[in-house]
A and B are shown apart, each in its own frame.
Chain A
Amino acid sequence: MNGPSGDTRTALRTWKVSAWLKRGLLGLTGVAVLFLADGAWAQTHLLNVSYDPTRELYREINQAFSHVWKKLTGETVTVRASHGGSGAQARTVIDGIDADVVTLGIPSDIDAIARLTNKIPADWRAKLPNNSLPYTSTVVFLVRKGNPKGIKDWDDLAKPGIRIITPNPKTSAGGRWNFLAAWGYAQAKEGGTAEKAREFVSAVYKNVPVLDTGARGSTVTFAQRGLGDVLPTWENEAFLVLDEFGKDKFDIVVPSVSILAEPPVALVEGNVSKKGTRKVAEAYLEFLYSNQAQAIFAKHRYRPLKPEAAKPEDLALLPHLKLFMIESIEPDWDKIQKNNFENGGLFDQISKR
């Protein structure tokens, strides 16, 4: 046994434990107070609650806005961002996170905030230009270099033996656009019916081995962990993977037709009134429609509302393809959400195995 020697034992006894403890506690409290009293609240803060793949985008937008605002008013404003699956993000707003603006992946998530809290008016889409869409996007396919499985169009996704990586449509806006794109494609194509669309989507999701909660999680699964043959994803996300992981590892496949993905923005009226940030929050949303922000959207491979503001070389990269609006098939967003994604909806039915 390695017990303490007599000397050590005496030392132990005379050790001023209480003094040690007291000093330690005092120190810890001091540290805590220092951190709490940190002058973090001295300036204006905006909180933008956004969806998963916009991390890089809003980092740049937020800095640009801070500069513009400083020049315009002399005030310092810091815009903070929070990212995650669009549904999960909407949930934090519903649960009371004091977001000034929401920039989510799909209109139904902002509808949910409007429905469950009174912080956003029901007619929020009419408050800003272009149905509150400063930019749009679409869904393309990311495949492994050389496209070994020969995936060309949506029909190929339903073939047996193809492994598709896509996020959970219940929590992710990207996941919902992917689902709706497949569904809309089958419905709109020649001879398409609701029943055929259902069969098609069912066949596609039979090929999904992994459902992450957000688009970014799926990208990591596909690109970093090397799982699956195809990643249907946001156009901007596909380009980002090429930039991050190298063009020698992946190819983008553009299907014949895809969905017009509509990630909307809105002011959280209830919060800005309380925080007194309405003016700057409104200016932030207006800024998203400015030429400067529009150019940043294009730089990050989103489709800007005003293409003329973007650099031509950025726009040239975006593929030309036919885009359809989901509203042309089902105009009622509440129905889209309810029939497909809520409990007992189409997604639940087809994912039973």
Chain B
Amino acid sequence: MSKALAVKLRLKQPSVIPGFGLTLGYTLTYLSLIVLLPLAVLLIRASEAGLSGILAAATEPRVAAALWVSFGISLLAALVASLFGLLVAWVLTRYDFPGRDLVGAMVDLPIALPTAVAGIALAALYAPNGWIGGPLERLGITVTYTPLGIFVALVFIGLPFTVRTVEPLIAEIDRDQEEVSATLGASRVKTLWSVMLPPLLPAMLTGFALAFARAVGEYGSVIFIAGNLPYVSEIAPLLIVIKLSEFDYTGAIVIATIMLAISFLALLAINLVQAWSRRRFGDV
């Protein structure tokens, strides 16, 4: 991805390889039909509501609360997923231990496991009578049907992104720099902190943004474990479904548009971070 983005807008270079018109034409047609046209319809329908209509629907307390729940918990979950993602990626690339390949393979599970399956599994696991929920309940911690449940589901969703973005970079860390740092008398902690962490930061930010974007929009795994209580544990995607059930199309469209804007912003942020890191650290 980074390489692709490194390619500055350039005029088409002449190329001897055939098929440019065919493949690009097909790509653009398919993209327009499947993605752009439907999204354009969404935006047109949103604009029909008028700016005042959009503002009114967006600032409705319940909508604002749902967006806040989605954003707040997604940010927290992406943060936690980033930290553990760094740890897991570090352990997987740097240390050798029995079963490492198996552990490495498991990291992608949340991508391959359907969200509804993840939802009922997490709900069964963290319910007051579940394997993890039981012991936690005795400690006075309720996970299911609270914002904590949403958090658990979103960490699950975000983990592969945060691991997989930093993993190749840890593998590419220049060993010489580490050695130089150690030879110059820096402690291991200092070497980790000031020599090795900075080049990882852009990748961590990218992973964070990916996990966040995914978490904000997540539906299947959350609805089974969240309490779905307005103002407390109701997420924005669920509110879209509820607005539809209430025949409030404008409300649903406005929330969807806001979420679409968030998706764009997250992608934009990822591109900016990568552009910045290329300037700062070269092509990573």
Contact = CB atoms under 8 A, between A and B. Distances in A.
A and B physically associate: yes
Interface in A121-174: 168, 170-171
A208 interface: yes
How would you classify the secondary structure of chain B's contact residues: helix, strand, loop or mixed? loop
B127 A225 contact: yes
A220 to B, nearest CB: 9
A342 B244 CA distance: 12
How would you classify the secondary structure of chain A's contact residues: helix, strand, loop or mixed? loop
A103 B245 CA distance: 16
A91 B228 contact: no
Contacts, number: 72
Contacts of A353: 231-232
Given A211-B229, A343-B251, A221 B145 contact: yes
A179 to B, nearest CB: 14
B62 interface: yes
A108 to B, nearest CB: 11
A209 B145 contact: yes
Contact of A211 (B228, B246, B248): B228
A264 interface: no
Given A210-B227, A211-B227, A351-B230, A91 B127 contact: no
Given A88-B244, A225-B145, A209 B129 contact: no
A225 B227 contact: no
A210 B228 contact: yes
A225 B128 contact: yes
B246 A170 contact: yes
Contact of A87 (B123, B234, B246): B246
A118 to B, nearest CB: 15
Counting chain B CB atoms within 10 Å of each CB, the highest count among A91, A341, A352 belongs to A91
B25 interface: no
A250 to B, nearest CB: 15
B129 A226 contact: yes
Contacts of A318: none
Interface string A187-226: 0000000000000000000001111110000000100111
Nearest to A342: B246
Interface in B230-274: 230-232, 234, 238, 241-242, 244-248, 251
Nearest to A343: B248
Counting chain A CB atoms within 10 Å of each CB, the highest count among B60, B61, B127, B228 belongs to B228
Interface string A83-107: 0010110110010000000000000
Nearest to B127: A225
A91 B227 contact: no
Interface string A112-126: 100010000000000
Interface of A: 85, 87-88, 90-91, 94, 112, 116, 168, 170-171, 208-213, 221, 224-227, 341-343, 348, 351-353
Given A168-B230, A213-B238, 13 more contacts: A88-B245, A90-B245, A210-B145, A210-B228, A210-B229, A211-B234, A213-B242, A221-B145, A226-B127, A341-B246, A342-B246, A351-B62, A352-B61
